[in-house]
Homo-oligomer: A and B are copies of this chain.
Amino acid sequence: MDHEVTAVPRAQRPDPAGHATIYDIARVAGVSPSTVSRALNKPGRINATTEQRIREVAADLGYRLNPVARALYTGQTSTFALILSDITNPVYFELVRGAETVGARENYTMVLAESQESGAREADAAERLLPAVDGIALVSTRMPDEQIRHLAARKPLVVVNRRVDDVLSIVPDPRPGIEAAIEHLAALGHRSFAYLSGPRTSYMSQLRWEIAFECALAHGLSVVEIGPCEPTLAGGRAIKRRVLAAGVTSVLAYNDIIAIGLLLECRDSGMDLPGQLSIVGFDDSFGSDFTSPPLTTIRSPLRQAGELAVERLLSLVRDEDHQHVDDLATVLVQRGSTAAPMLT
């Protein structure tokens, strides 16, 4: 009835390669396992010559510490989870790399999970990973605040690109970049402006809109929100109709993907860019300089955000103090997709 491996209970269970354990070393070196353990990770606790001998035996036997066994006793797995909504979204590439780099530097292993844009799947992943990691980083999470706090109460946790009360939040400040962008547009002579918003549930999209609104007013531009717009190429292409209908001469998109989609659609329909429409993206993500004209965009320090998130997470794990508050500022990257508006 069952096809499970009921026979051969041992024999095939341990590593086929049969890793050496501290017990093997102890036997060969003629000491006790506890001595081996101490020799290997409490330098000085053990007589220098004994320690040396043990190290040699360990090397001979090709010993590698079994992290699972250590984790069981210590409760520390030296592992953290990074959960994000969409691995293939280029916005996250640099963030992931930053996280991985810091993790590796601190001898932590990174576990990557994807929630495929679903809050439920995200909660699932978090719940599943919870007992196996020391901490969790949630990037652009779709979970409600309450659920996030509940997780944070059980494990060290940081959220990136979202502000949650009582939870360590890493969120780049969009203001400097947006201010610069709108100043830039105003200086070029634009009088009308639209913000292309992302998913309704996105904290970041909401925040960017509020700031853009404020800045546009301050510079005397007319300002409207167009959206929500799906954060994909197709979403950006589809929004063109509404942008043209609104009759604006400049737009800021929630992110580069939307901006690029819009740009491609405009070019395909033979519009003159940037003359007829100035487009500003957000994030300076991979590929934003491939377009023609190359996209003017607001760079988010995503790499640093990833690094910082993991640094903070680990200090939370180690129960250290959180030192300085560092600001992650955005900056405007001027490229070719913005220009003075053509006179009609």
- B97 adjacent to A93 (CB under 8 Å): no
- How far apart sit A203 and B65, CA to CA, in the bound complex (Å)? 34
Asked if A271 is at the interface (CB within 8 A of a chain B CB), the reply is: no
Closest to A5 in B: B319
- B112 adjacent to A100 (CB under 8 Å): yes
- A72 adjacent to B75 (CB under 8 Å): no
- B69 adjacent to A72 (CB under 8 Å): yes
Asked if A90 is at the interface (CB within 8 A of a chain B CB), the reply is: yes
- B87 adjacent to A77 (CB under 8 Å): no
Asked if A16 is at the interface (CB within 8 A of a chain B CB), the reply is: yes
Please, how many residues of chain A have a CB less than 8 angstroms from a CB on the other chain? 55
- How far apart sit A63 and B330, CA to CA, in the bound complex (Å)? 43
Chain B residues lying within 8 Å of A291, measured Cβ to Cβ, are 290-292
- How far apart sit A69 and B77, CA to CA, in the bound complex (Å)? 11
Contact flag A130-B64 (CB < 8 Å), given A88-B94, A88-B286: yes
- A100 adjacent to B113 (CB under 8 Å): yes
Chain A positions 295-324 with a Cβ under 8 Å from a chain B Cβ: 319
- B131 adjacent to A109 (CB under 8 Å): no
Q: Which of B97, B125, B290 contacts A264 (CB 8 A)?
A: B290
A57-85, CB under 8 A of B: which get 1 and which 0? 00000001111110110110101000000
Give the most central of A68, A90, A153, A264: most B CB within 10 Å: A68
- How far apart sit A100 and B15, CA to CA, in the bound complex (Å)? 25
Q: Which of B14, B93, B97, B114 contacts A100 (CB 8 A)?
A: B114
User: How many copies of this chain sit in the oligomeric assembly?
Assistant: 2
- How far apart sit A153 and B19, CA to CA, in the bound complex (Å)? 12
Contact flag A75-B13 (CB < 8 Å), given A127-B64, A286-B286: yes
- B75 adjacent to A17 (CB under 8 Å): no
- How far apart sit A40 and B88, CA to CA, in the bound complex (Å)? 37
Chain A positions 80-127 with a Cβ under 8 Å from a chain B Cβ: 87-88, 90, 93-94, 96-97, 100-101, 104, 109-114, 125, 127
- A153 adjacent to B88 (CB under 8 Å): no
Give the most central of A65, A110, A129: most B CB within 10 Å: A110
**What's the least CB distance linking A232 to chain B, in Å?**
12
Contact flag A96-B87 (CB < 8 Å), given A110-B111, A111-B111, A131-B68: yes
Closest to A81 in B: B109
- How far apart sit A72 and B71, CA to CA, in the bound complex (Å)? 9
Asked if A155 is at the interface (CB within 8 A of a chain B CB), the reply is: yes
Chain A positions 155-183 with a Cβ under 8 Å from a chain B Cβ: 155
- How far apart sit A127 and B155, CA to CA, in the bound complex (Å)? 28
19 inter-chain pairs at a CB distance below 8 angstroms, sorted by A residue, are A15-B154, A15-B155, A17-B155, A19-B131, A64-B127, A66-B131, A67-B132, A68-B77, A68-B132, A90-B93, A90-B286, A96-B112, A100-B114, A109-B111, A109-B132, A110-B112, A260-B290, A264-B290, A267-B292
